[in-house]
Structure 1
Amino acid sequence: MFDQINKYKASFGRLFEAKTLKVMLEIALLTILLSFLGPIKNMIYTEVVNKLSLGITVKLGIIMFASYIVVQVIEECVSYFQIYLNTVLQLKLGQSVSHEINNKLAKVKLNSLEMYEIHDLVSRANQTIKSSIVSSLNLIIALYTPLATIVLQLASLVWVAWYVPILIAVFNVPYIFILVKSNHRRYELERKITKEKRVEKYFVELLSDRYAAKDIRTYDLVNFFFSKMIDVKEKITLEYKRLCQKNTFQRTIATVTQSMAMAMALLLTGYLVIKKKTPIGAFVLVYNTGRNLQSAVSSFVGTISTWDQFGINFADWNRLMNLEEEPEGDEDCIDKIHEIEMKNVEFRYPQRSESAVKNINLRILTGEKIAIVGENGSGKTTLLYLLLGIYRPISGEASVNGKTMELNLDNYRKKTACLIQNFVHFQMTLRENLAPNDFSELSEDPLIDFANNFPDRLNTFLGALDSNGVELSGGQWKRIALYRTLHKKDVDLIVLDEPTANLDPKISENIINRLLKPNYNKTVIVITHDFELAKKFDRIIGMKEGKIICDSPPQAFAWELFEKHNSDKRSLPQIG
């Protein structure tokens, strides 16, 4: 046990802060005190019964009664204080574990998060692993509470007869073994159905999501999604039913053996009382001790099971903590992005046989204005993520200012701003949406002039998390995301995926004119399906099937594209 604790402590050392250890020590001291108070109270109660059967003086009765009440009050006070400390410990450990998990996930290579098994691992991290770690570390001390109670309670039965505690202990062994196996099987089931529970959660959230409700109602999909959710629920229920059937049978046997031990101990004590080999209070002692033992044994088994589950969860925790992280990079900051280059870059999504992009050779210089065009699925967005350093090439090299991009990602990202298609609608104030990291200064911009119509202006809460929250149109959310992108400080590279989608023509024209101003010295890369828009840029990159098929100024680009696809020269081929 101590070896196991030391091994865990090596992995969770940062969770054991000084304050946490202090609380655990306090719980340990209270645990020792509680372990002694139970048997003392039983012995006092036994003596009361013995004296009553023989006749006692009023003075002795008052003393014994007062002693019993004092011990009872102390036990209750200590118990409540221990509950309070346990709550404090749970909170501290829960915060520490959440911090460790979130801190790790913030550093994990984003390529890894595309893998389904990593989705399951992260899901378990935020549910099973987290709760198991908190429970286990909280019960390092609590493990000895029921154990001490069991030992002291059994020791008190020696007063009746030396073989009574042995009898009860032997008959409780099968009970402990069966409960441990039962709890172990339950964890294995939880691990097995992680994916199904994640799917179920998705359908539950989908059916209650106010954004999805419009499509679901329009296409009359309520019953369709509900039936899919029920199918998943039935699979989960069937697994739980099988587990319940097996555990019920075995737990029944375990309970019967434990009850037999209690019954035999009471019968034996009754026989000794009748034969006047022990006072009548012994019967009360055995009865009270037996009940306390049942509770202590159940608690002990629960604690052992938690450790057992944690031992299995430990592998998940190690796997999560050992996921490959993005490199911290060089200490030298990037003062300015002068050049971005890709040489023979290839990227393939996990569990896909085909590469999303391949043989990418690209050089982008400061201040260039570039449009990327291509059919849906041609690799445009993947290329965008590679340019931003979100994804790491599986082969080839992406560099910034002649240095491998991966070696300086943190500094590089500080110099970039991006608008992706599936940007997040942050449920918080407009001010916080516009500049989450630094909203001390906000610039006047026509993009957010609609805020003048809000009673609280920039302090208006957006979304449904607040009862006074304001819901926005898709175009207004897009304007907020654009403001956030265009006003990020100290940026050299701006990347936008379909920047004019969902915007009215006046706003779209304003955005494009701003990006293409001669004195706008930032590098701008946009993904667009609008060729008329693409023609306004200095350079057009055409993609098909994950490859760059054209890379030239607008005046040269059209003819190359026509020739490669044998299209009608009067119009461009369908781009998507």
Structure 2
Amino acid sequence: MKKTVQFILEIQKILDKKTWIKVKLFYLAVLLSAIFEPIVLVLYKNLLNMLSNQVAFASTIFWVVFGYEFVQLLSGFSMLLIGHEKLKLEYTLNNILIKAVHNKLNRICEEEFEKENTYNLLERVKESFVNSVLSIIDGLIGGATQIIQCVGCVLIVTRINLYLGLAMILANIPYIIVNIVYNIKEYKIKQKCSLKKRQVSYYEEQLQYRKNAKDIRLFNATPYMLNRIENLKTDITKEYVMLYNKEVWLKSATTILKFVVTGLCIILCIKPTYYGTANCGDIVVLITASLNLENKIFELFENYYLIMNCGFIIEDWYSFSELPEEKEIKSNDTIENYSITFRNVSFKYPGTNRYALQGVNLHIKQGEKIVIIGENGSGKTTFINLLLGCFSSYTGNILIDGKEICNVYDEIRRNCSVVFQDFLKLQLSIKDNIFLEQSSLFEEKQIEEQVYFIGNLKNGINTVLGQLEEGGIELSGGEWQLIAILRAMVKTNKKIIVMDEPTSYLDSKKEDWFYATLLEIPKDMTVIIVSHRLSVAKLCDRIVLFKKGRIETMGTHEELIENSEEYKRMYFSQKDMYDINS
């Protein structure tokens, strides 16, 4: 419970002041409404006693009936109002908590996304965190309500029969213990099955992904995928079934015990009335309050069970919130010259022993256009990722204008534009995909005139893409890649442009447009292109050839043709593709 309280205090830090006040006011309103039930029982008891003994005046009975109905009305109205406010509050909390999770994801170091445990943790947080927080708050509110109602019922019951109340409380304890023990075991199984659940989600997503439909049908992959899903689900189910088989017997036994005790207590309540030694109203309300007490105790510990069950997500949340974040370094350093220097840089991906880059030394002048080439796995993309600050656990020095890159990350990202291999594709309009709400010197008409396929569309740059909205269209891989290139080009204040395989999906006509655009880039802007296609090599100032994580050689196209057998082999193997104007 201590951890739960600490967790709620952590949640308070996430919420804004206004929302936290709403939570507290809502909590207070629920507590106040909880007192109505005991009051109704007392009024009901008095009314029955008056009617059975026939000793009260009509006016007294009238006011008791009036009070009874009035409290019932207040109770019903308060529950209606609380239900309405609860829906609004849950909606607000849901939005704030989801935003908090995504903000944290945006700050986590890229290295963490290379670890399997991180993805297992993210799966559990994504699946349970928001609902668990809402359930914990709900459980705390429900628990406090039930405590007040239990106190009211206990006061009523003990005034008539002290031992009856104690018996009903004690009868629930074995059931509560069983629930707590198996709740802990269930969470351990959930942790154990995280990877398999993530694999199931992945395979199901692949089967549902629209663009996979042709491959799946052509290769008849559905039975294969379903078989993998079924095997994984069978393994997961076995774990839970083994637990539930043991749990059901213990829960059944403790439930039977609880109802046997309740039945005996009710018989003991009825006996005095039969012999005329107790008031009818006392006995009816005693039975009602006793049953209510039992139900409230059960609900109280169900809420405790709910909080404990959700409480395991607290450990996951703390693990998630403690994942290393990119360092926010406040520096007064400004970049005057966007020259780039890699000095003896080496890097291994987390969890591997092989160097992705080793002993890399390279200096790129501001305004220089560089193309990085090499076979798959030679370290080209890793070099780009280090330059963009995606990873920080490298050895050596990466300098911009002579300053360590880790000290100027913010400025680099503000002034660097990029086209990744796996670029962003949003099912929005072409305009939204290109500009992402950022201002730009480029005009929409200018883009429609330069990029022919956009100009040929009925709605031009405002054409909606994908299937989220009616009338959305699908683009080819090359058309999507042009949009990614345009997104990089329209970014304002850019000093460096980085492109990882920017022409991999382009046909010859689109590739010609790309080369023409490349030639128009201002001379003071640094351009770094990773490419398997050597057609771009003649347009760049220098070519850097990577091999097995090291720089094999570098120079101009002419120098490498003359001095590098590796480059010469690569170039002439593709020579027929390079009939371009340089």
**TM-score, with length taken from structure 2:** 0.91
Superposition deviation, residue 207 in structure 1: 0.6
3-state secondary structure, aligned to 1:176: helix
User: What CA distance in whole angstroms lies between the structure 2 residues aligned with 1:71 and 1:492?
Assistant: 72
User: What CA distance in whole angstroms lies between the structure 2 residues aligned with 1:248 and 1:158?
Assistant: 34
Q: Larger deviation: 182-191 or 489-498?
A: 182-191
2:345/2:398 contact within 8 Å kept: yes
1:80 aligns to 2:83 (yes or no) = no
Name 1:338's counterpart in structure 2: 338
User: What CA distance in whole angstroms lies between the structure 2 residues aligned with 1:9 and 1:225?
Assistant: 42
3-state secondary structure, aligned to 1:358: strand
Name 1:528's counterpart in structure 2: 531
Name 1:491's counterpart in structure 2: 494
Superposition deviation, residue 124 in structure 1: 1.9
2:545/2:552 contact within 8 Å kept: yes
Alignment of structure 1 residues 134-173 onto 2, 5 Å: 134-173=134-173
| Residue 522 to residue 396, structure 1, CA distance change in 2 (3 Å) | same
Superposition deviation, residue 518 in structure 1: 7.9
1:229 aligns to 2:232 (yes or no) = no
**Could you report, residue by residue, the CA deviation over 1:324-383 in whole angstroms, capped at 9, with x for unpaired residues?**
211223443645552111112122222222122211111111111111111111111111
3-state secondary structure, aligned to 1:496: strand
Alignment of structure 1 residues 324-363 onto 2, 5 Å: 324-332=324-332, 334-363=334-363
1:99 aligns to 2:102 (yes or no) = no
Superposition deviation, residue 95 in structure 1: 2.7
| Residue 510 to residue 572, structure 1, CA distance change in 2 (3 Å) | closer
Name 1:558's counterpart in structure 2: 561
1:414 maps to a residue whose letter is R
Superposition deviation, residue 232 in structure 1: 1.6
Superposition deviation, residue 20 in structure 1: 3.0
2:168/2:294 contact within 8 Å kept: no
User: What CA distance in whole angstroms lies between the structure 1 residues aligned with 2:38 and 2:460?
Assistant: 67
Match of 2:474 among 456, 471, 474: 471
1:251 maps to a residue whose letter is K
User: What CA distance in whole angstroms lies between the structure 2 residues aligned with 1:409 and 1:570?
Assistant: 39
Pairs aligned (count): 571
1:454 aligns to 2:453 (yes or no) = no
3-state secondary structure, aligned to 2:470: coil
3-state secondary structure, aligned to 1:159: helix
**Could you report, residue by residue, the CA deviation over 1:407-453 in whole angstroms, capped at 9, with x for unpaired residues?**
11111011111111111211112211110032576431355432334
User: What CA distance in whole angstroms lies between the structure 2 residues aligned with 1:568 and 1:311?
Assistant: 59
User: What CA distance in whole angstroms lies between the structure 2 residues aligned with 1:518 and 1:77?
Assistant: 69
User: What CA distance in whole angstroms lies between the structure 1 residues aligned with 2:434 and 2:84?
Assistant: 42
1:280 maps to a residue whose letter is C
2:216/2:222 contact within 8 Å kept: yes
Superposition deviation, residue 396 in structure 1: 1.6
Name 1:40's counterpart in structure 2: 39
Name 2:579's counterpart in structure 1: none
User: What CA distance in whole angstroms lies between the structure 2 residues aligned with 1:90 and 1:22?
Assistant: 14
Name 1:538's counterpart in structure 2: 541
Alignment of structure 1 residues 60-459 onto 2, 5 Å: 62-332=62-332, 334-438=334-438, 442-443=442-443, 444-445=446-447, 446=449, 448-459=451-462
User: What CA distance in whole angstroms lies between the structure 2 residues aligned with 1:123 and 1:402?
Assistant: 41
| Residue 570 to residue 100, structure 1, CA distance change in 2 (3 Å) | closer
| Residue 21 to residue 142, structure 1, CA distance change in 2 (3 Å) | farther
Name 1:15's counterpart in structure 2: 14
Aligned CA RMSD, in angstroms, stands at 2.7
2:342/2:361 contact within 8 Å kept: yes
Superposition deviation, residue 129 in structure 1: 2.7
| Residue 565 to residue 442, structure 1, CA distance change in 2 (3 Å) | closer
1:368/1:524 contact within 8 Å kept: yes
User: What CA distance in whole angstroms lies between the structure 2 residues aligned with 1:361 and 1:281?
Assistant: 93
Superposition deviation, residue 119 in structure 1: 1.0
User: What CA distance in whole angstroms lies between the structure 2 residues aligned with 1:498 and 1:483?
Assistant: 15
Q: Larger deviation: 130-139 or 261-270?
A: 130-139
Superposition deviation, residue 148 in structure 1: 1.7
| Residue 159 to residue 32, structure 1, CA distance change in 2 (3 Å) | same
**Could you report, residue by residue, the CA deviation over 1:376-399 in whole angstroms, capped at 9, with x for unpaired residues?**
111111111112222224312212
| Residue 236 to residue 569, structure 1, CA distance change in 2 (3 Å) | closer
Name 2:578's counterpart in structure 1: none
Superposition deviation, residue 565 in structure 1: 9.5
User: What CA distance in whole angstroms lies between the structure 1 residues aligned with 2:244 and 2:116?
Assistant: 29
Q: Larger deviation: 448-457 or 141-150?
A: 448-457
2:495 maps to a residue whose letter is D
2:499 maps to a residue whose letter is L
| Residue 160 to residue 441, structure 1, CA distance change in 2 (3 Å) | farther
User: What CA distance in whole angstroms lies between the structure 2 residues aligned with 1:61 and 1:342?
Assistant: 92
Q: Which ranges of structure 1 fall in alignment gaps of 5 or more residues?
A: none
3-state secondary structure, aligned to 2:35: helix
Superposition deviation, residue 566 in structure 1: 11
| Residue 337 to residue 494, structure 1, CA distance change in 2 (3 Å) | farther
| Residue 568 to residue 474, structure 1, CA distance change in 2 (3 Å) | closer
**Could you report, residue by residue, the CA deviation over 1:258-286 in whole angstroms, capped at 9, with x for unpaired residues?**
21232121011012222333222334223
**Could you report, residue by residue, the CA deviation over 1:37-58 in whole angstroms, capped at 9, with x for unpaired residues?**
1122223333344344445776
Q: Larger deviation: 323-332 or 52-61?
A: 52-61
User: What CA distance in whole angstroms lies between the structure 2 residues aligned with 1:343 and 1:34?
Assistant: 69
Superposition deviation, residue 83 in structure 1: 2.1
2:356/2:549 contact within 8 Å kept: yes
User: What CA distance in whole angstroms lies between the structure 2 residues aligned with 1:127 and 1:348?
Assistant: 31
Q: Larger deviation: 56-65 or 511-520?
A: 56-65
Q: Larger deviation: 239-248 or 360-369?
A: 239-248
User: What CA distance in whole angstroms lies between the structure 2 residues aligned with 1:135 and 1:238?
Assistant: 27
3-state secondary structure, aligned to 1:106: helix
2:66 maps to a residue whose letter is A
User: What CA distance in whole angstroms lies between the structure 2 residues aligned with 1:560 and 1:290?
Assistant: 95
Q: Larger deviation: 356-365 or 435-444?
A: 435-444
1:103 maps to a residue whose letter is N
Superposition deviation, residue 134 in structure 1: 3.1
Name 2:580's counterpart in structure 1: none
Name 1:25's counterpart in structure 2: 24
| Residue 121 to residue 275, structure 1, CA distance change in 2 (3 Å) | same
2:388/2:413 contact within 8 Å kept: yes
**TM-score, with length taken from structure 1:** 0.92
| Residue 557 to residue 114, structure 1, CA distance change in 2 (3 Å) | same
| Residue 65 to residue 182, structure 1, CA distance change in 2 (3 Å) | farther
Greater than 6 Å deviation, 4+ residue runs: 564-570
User: What CA distance in whole angstroms lies between the structure 2 residues aligned with 1:344 and 1:131?
Assistant: 48
1:168/1:262 contact within 8 Å kept: yes
Superposition deviation, residue 118 in structure 1: 0.8
User: What CA distance in whole angstroms lies between the structure 2 residues aligned with 1:293 and 1:235?
Assistant: 42
2:269/2:287 contact within 8 Å kept: no
Q: Larger deviation: 121-130 or 134-143?
A: 134-143
**Could you report, residue by residue, the CA deviation over 1:59-106 in whole angstroms, capped at 9, with x for unpaired residues?**
555544433322222111111222233333323332332232222211
User: What CA distance in whole angstroms lies between the structure 2 residues aligned with 1:569 and 1:129?
Assistant: 53
3-state secondary structure, aligned to 1:417: strand
1:412 maps to a residue whose letter is I
